[in-house]
Amino acid sequence: MNSIKSGYTCALIVAMLLLLQACTPVSIENNKRILVQGKFVTPEGAAIQGIRVSTKTDIKGFLSRGQGTLSEALSDENGDVSMVSLDVDPGILCLDIKNTSNERRLQSFTVCDSSFSRKETLLDLGEFVLKEIIGTSIIIRHNSDVYYTLRSEAPSVRIGIEDWNELSSYDDLDLASKYTTRESFLNSENQVDTLRVTTTNNSTVYLKLQSGLEEYTYEFEVNEIDASYEIDL
């Protein structure tokens, strides 16, 4: 009887410890600070104000997972940003760079690297060039199922379906296909589908459509913001 009781006690203690682990998802390193600094400019060298730089970490608790901000700051009118960040131990530190201005769409970056932490006390971004995003919509009207292959030679091309918001929904592990080629299927039920191609460099995009036995090949220049092409099959 006693052994059963002590068994229950042990299980209860283990459960409480696990719960405690779940409640304290991230450990911040004692006695450590990281200086994050840099200057954001356009390709022409003009300073960009309002770029938000954040240090983040993955929270890997027993029951929870999410992201938390360790520090964040906005670039000033000279494009300069300088902030002091906490560090995590253990954990991975991520650097998140996003434009907060609605006036134009600029590149955003999230870089996660465990080597940021442990040793580093300085993350110097230097002069960081942010390019404007060029987006082109290819509207396809079709009455039957269509297989398509969309390919671009520019390494930074993103290819998405439907609208801007879906661009970020790709699996991060699928980087190669995200940036170079996308092959998929357009269901006949939709009748109108939009492929949206975004890039920061002028580039040529090749589109191959296959509907039944018919095959069509197109070539588009993605070189202006918010251009649009229409294809009727």
| Interacting residues toward another protein by CB under 8 A | 23-35, 59, 68-73, 83-86, 121-122
Query: Containing H/E element for 184?
Result: strand 181-186
Longest dimension (CA), the chain: 79
Tell me how far, at minimum, the Cβ of 65 lies from another protein, in Å.
13
Tell me how far, at minimum, the Cβ of 159 lies from another protein, in Å.
36
Residue whose C-alpha is closest to residue 141's, from 82, 91, 188? 188
Tell me how far, at minimum, the Cβ of 107 lies from another protein, in Å.
23
Residues 119 and 122: their CA atoms lie apart, in Å, by: 9
| 69 or 177: CB nearest another protein | 69
**Beta-bridge partners for 195:** 138, 161
Chain centroid to CA 120: how far? 24
C-alpha to C-alpha distances, 184 to 59, 151, 156, 220, nearest whole angstrom: 34, 12, 19, 18
Tell me how far, at minimum, the Cβ of 54 lies from another protein, in Å.
9
| 34 or 41: CB nearest another protein | 34
Give the position of tokens 């292959």: 149
Tell me how far, at minimum, the Cβ of 23 lies from another protein, in Å.
8
Q: Does residue 142 sit in helix, strand or coil?
A: coil
| 15 or 84: CB nearest another protein | 84
| 29 or 132: CB nearest another protein | 29
| 54 or 152: CB nearest another protein | 54
